[in-house]
Amino acid sequence: MPIKVGDTAPNFSLPAQSGSTISLQDFRGKKAVILYFYPKDDTPGCTTESCAFRDQYEVFKTAGAEVVGVSSDSIESHQKFAAKYNLPFTLLTDKGDQVRKLYGATAAFGLFPGRVTYVIDQQGVVQYVFDSMFNFKGHVEEALKSLQQIAK
């Protein structure tokens, strides 16, 4: 059952490109979280999406949110991807797609990992879900709009 608006975001802990383990719980009561699941490091669509998040990262931070990307790529792959494109936010490794499945962020026909963005407020409640395989920059635009609505 996919996670929907109004649901409490399930907690998880995953390894980050820094080597540390990040838990969703770490942000509760402190920051909103823009949690985006993407298929694969250094592919055209994922690069476009991640660079769009990078380009708006300061806007997200000013709005009180942290951006966190998730794919099944290795820590080493995330390190290279983040360094190559100067990504200032955390990328998490979801080997076996356990967290992706927990959130229901799977693609149509189950052929590819889905591209889904969740806006999670400080209390851990999902405020917005954007699911689009091909509207790469839309994930950033919609997350920002949603975050601005929460702030009001």
- Which amino acids are annotated catalytic? 46
The C-alpha atoms of residue 135 and residue 49 are separated, in whole angstroms, by 9
Residues 6+ apart with CB under 8 A from 130: 116, 117, 138, 139, 142, 143, 146
SS3 45: helix
Residue 101 burial (CB count, 10 A): 11
**H/E element holding 36?**
strand 32-37
DSSP 3-state percent helix, strand, coil across the chain (nearest 5): 40, 25, 35
| Closest CA relative to residue 43, chosen from 117, 113, 98, 110 | 113
